[in-house]
Amino acid sequence: MADGKLVRDLIPQIIRESGAEPMIYVAGPEEYRERLRHKLSEEVADLTADDSAAAEELADILEVVHALALDLGMTPSRLEERRAQKAASRGGFAGKVVWTGNA
């Protein structure tokens, strides 16, 4: 993978408005998917490092998850349907249940 990092679509415009000229290119399909997965890891690391920015980091994670779902052929609404199905059949995480093995 080449140097650089995947950024939100408006970042080049924001950089231009600040008076600089960004050096950018559009990733191909394979690179894009690889960079999305890397970006997801980065955002999760950011979330685990700083609780004070949790809302921002969770929003970033959700944006990356939606982009990755679209790249894999799944709309955000279909992803939400799948999440709801899993929650209905296996539960969520609100119960704070920790499994330590079987007796």
pLDDT in tens, 2-56: 799 999 999 999 999 999 999 999 999 999 999 999 999 999 999 999 889 999 9
Amino acid 92: pLDDT: 97
For the residues 76-92, what does the mean pLDDT come to?
96
Please say if the pLDDT value at position 1 is more than 80: no
Amino acid 2: pLDDT: 75
In this structure, which amino acid lies at residue 49?
A: A
DSSP states of the chain as a string? --SS----TTHHHHHHHTT------PPPHHHHHHHHHHHHHHHHHHHHH-GGGHHHHHHHHHHHHHHHHHHTT--HHHHHHHHHHHHHHH--STT--------
Amino acid 60: pLDDT: 96
**Alpha carbons 71 and 59: distance in angstroms, whole number:** 18
Instruction: Provide the whole-model pTM.
Output: 0.88
For the residues 66-83, what does the mean pLDDT come to?
96
**Alpha carbons 20 and 22: distance in angstroms, whole number:** 6
Please say if the pLDDT value at position 91 is more than 80: yes
In this structure, which amino acid lies at residue 102?
A: N
